[in-house]
Structure 1
Amino acid sequence: MKKLLTITSLALCALGATAAEPAGGFKGPDNLRLVTAAEASQLADDTVVKLQGFIVRALGDEKYEFRDDSGTITVEIDEEDWGGVTATPDARVELRGEIDRDRYPARVEVDVDSVRLLP
């Protein structure tokens, strides 16, 4: 009985150790160019962008007003794309996503894929 308890304990410890290991992947510089809100509003549809600034208010329907030193742009952040991040208007964030440009009615948004808090 002691052997079974010892083996079970060791197995659970080993299982816990492997579950705690982070997923692998590339860690290094990316090829995304940091753009401003003003620059983003001029880019072509589906252009991949990275923005740094502040989410200053909710506009409803998963849309938010993003602000940096150049101005503001509307961003759409689906619930699953927040990644557990809680942002306040004072929290500096990095958003990664694609430009979503519509002609009628004319509007430009960033369809956000990920949100990250910055120091």
Structure 2
Amino acid sequence: MSKMIFKAWLLAAGLGLAGVAAADTFGAAAVQTDVAVQTVAAAKALPDDSKVVLEGRIVKKTGHERYEFKDASGTVTVEIDDDDWRGLSVNAQDKVRIEGEVEHKRGRAVEIDVNRIVKL
């Protein structure tokens, strides 16, 4: 009898943990956990293709799929492909988290190629 109870407890615990793990991978709150939030100034100093997570505001559109992103440390151009918006609508007052990679462009300043954007 105690073996049955123990097995039932293990099954319940396993299902509970699986539910927690699944909850971390879905929805707008899911973010990269292997990269800490950085500042624009720190991101600009990183090598090409470095992964970054930034929090701040998109203050204006500067061209096709290009925007000016600002935090307390400065501004940087970000490239957000139309399909990466996934229906999200933001304005200059909305705080967002962007996840992407640093791009060093020849003859141009550092840009961030955004893979994901989330409104905070």
**Do these two structures clear the TM 0.5 threshold for a shared fold by scoring above it?**
yes
Q: Using the TM superposition, give the Cα deviation of residue 96 of structure 1 relative to its aligned residue in structure 2, in angstroms.
A: 0.3
Q: Which amino acid aligns with 2:73?
A: S
Q: Which runs of 4+ in 1 moved over 2 A?
A: none
TM-score (norm 2): 0.73
Which of residues 71, 74, 86 in structure 2 aligns to 1:71?
Answer: 74
Q: Is the 8 A contact 1:83 1:114 kept in 2?
A: no
Deviations 1:68-87 (A, max 9, x none): 00010000000001121101
Q: Using the TM superposition, give the Cα deviation of residue 60 of structure 1 relative to its aligned residue in structure 2, in angstroms.
A: 0.7
Q: Could you list the runs of 5+ residues in structure 1 that have no partner in the other structure?
A: 1-23
Partners of 1:112 and 1:25 in 2: CA distance:
24
Length, aligned pairs only: 94
TM-score (norm 1): 0.73
Q: Is the 8 A contact 1:51 1:95 kept in 2?
A: yes
What is the aligned partner in structure 2 of residue 93 from structure 1? 96
What is the aligned partner in structure 2 of residue 61 from structure 1? 64
What is the aligned partner in structure 1 of residue 107 from structure 2? 105
Q: Using the TM superposition, give the Cα deviation of residue 106 of structure 1 relative to its aligned residue in structure 2, in angstroms.
A: 3.8
- What is the Cα-based RMSD across aligned positions, in Å? 1.8
Which of residues 98, 113, 116 in structure 2 aligns to 1:114?
Answer: 116
What is the aligned partner in structure 2 of residue 30 from structure 1? 33
Q: Could you list the runs of 5+ residues in structure 2 that have no partner in the other structure?
A: 1-20, 26-31
Which of residues 83, 87, 94 in structure 2 aligns to 1:84?
Answer: 87
